[in-house]
Amino acid sequence: MIKLKINGNVVDIDVDETTPLLWVLRENLGLTGSKYGCGIGSCGACTVHINGEAVRSCLVPVSTLNTSKEIVTIEGLSADTSHPVQQAWKELDVPQCGYCQSGMIMSAAALLKKKPQPSDADIDENVTNICRCGTFNRVRRGIHLAVQKNNKS
């Protein structure tokens, strides 16, 4: 049994310890917002927060986790899609197919936590997710808009 803290809840999970967090989230906990895109840390579709940092969950075996690590998934980013990044995304109609967007949003939200006023260079360096539909320019605008929203609230 492994105990994890996910979106504020403590859960007991009985899985092989080598199972990556991504698959525990998706298959054992039904939190399918985090996506599988590559399984090797290349695409970012599986991005979640662990203690506030953006982490690619496909590379994290659950054996390395315990309840001292606060895991937040897209489902737990806000209760009502009210996070400034989600709001900015909505305003700009950022998603196309949307498959990469949970990861994109989680990367952007983690960046804003670290750097509340990120420059374009900060965005380039921190938001390294792949989007095959090609939403990058709206993602960039969305991050800047989220900063404004943050400042207002």
Partner 1 sequence: MKKEIINVSRREFLISSGKVGAGFTIGLYLPGCSEQSGNEIHATSGATKMAPPQEISSTPAKGLKEVNAWVVIQPDDTVIIRIARSEMGQGTLTGLAQLVAEELECDWSKVTTEYPTPGENIKRDNIWRDFMTGGSFGIRGSHSYVRKGGAVARHMLIEAAAEQWGVDMAECSAANSVITHTPSGRTISYGKVADAAAELFPPEHVELKDPKDWKLIGQPVKRLDTDEKLNGKQVYGADLWMEGMLNASIKACPVFGGKLKSFDASKVTSMPGVHKVVAVGDDAVAVVAKTWWQAKTALDKLPISWDKGANAKVSTASIDAMLDEGLTSSKKVFVGNKNGDVNKALKGASKVVEATYRYPYQNHATMEPMNATAIWTKDKCEVWCPTQNGTAALQATAQAAGLPVSQCDVHKLHLGGGFGRRGAIHDFVVQAVAIAKQLPGTPVKLLWSREEDMAHGMYHPITMCKLTGGLNNKGDLTSLRVRISGQSILASINPAWMTNGADMFTFQGMLPEGDHAISYSVPNLLVDHAMRNPPVPPGFWRGVNINQNAIYFESFIDELAHTTDKDPLAFRQALMTKHPKSLAVLNAVAKKAGWGTPTEKGVGRGLAVCKAFASHIAACAEVSVNDKGELKILRIVAATDPGYAVNPQQIEAQVEGSFVFGLSALLYGECTIKDGAVEQSNFHDYPSMKIKEMPKVDVIVMPSGGFWGGVGEPTIAVAAPAVLNAIYAATGKRIRQFPLKDVDLNA
> What whole-number distance in Å separates Cα of residue 87 and Cα of residue 79?
13
* Backbone torsions φ then ψ of 50, nearest 5 degrees: -120, 120
Number of residues that bind partner 1 (CB under 8 A): 70
According to CB under 8 A, which one of 17, 31, 119, 150 is a site residue for partner 1?
Answer: 31
Q: How far is the CB of 119 from ligand FES (least distance, A)?
A: 23
Q: Decide: 104 and 129 in contact? Cβ < 8 Å.
A: yes
3-state secondary structure 22-80: HHHHHHHCCCCCCCCCCCCCCCCCCEEEECCEEEEHHHCEHHHCCCCCEEECHHHCCCC
Question: To 5 degrees, how large is the angle CA 143–CA 149–CA 153?
Answer: 145
Give least dist CB 44 to partner 1, A: 9
* Minimum CB–partner distance for residue 53 and partner 1 (Å): 19
Q: Is 126 in the site for ligand FES (CB under 6 A)?
A: no
Site for ligand FES in 21-80 (CB under 6 A): 36-39, 41-46, 56, 58
153 binds, among ligand FES, partner 1, none (CB under 5 to 8 A by kind): none
Interface contacts to partner 1, rule CB under 8 A: 7-16, 19-20, 23, 26-40, 42-43, 45, 73-79, 81, 86, 89-90, 93-102, 105, 123-125, 127-140
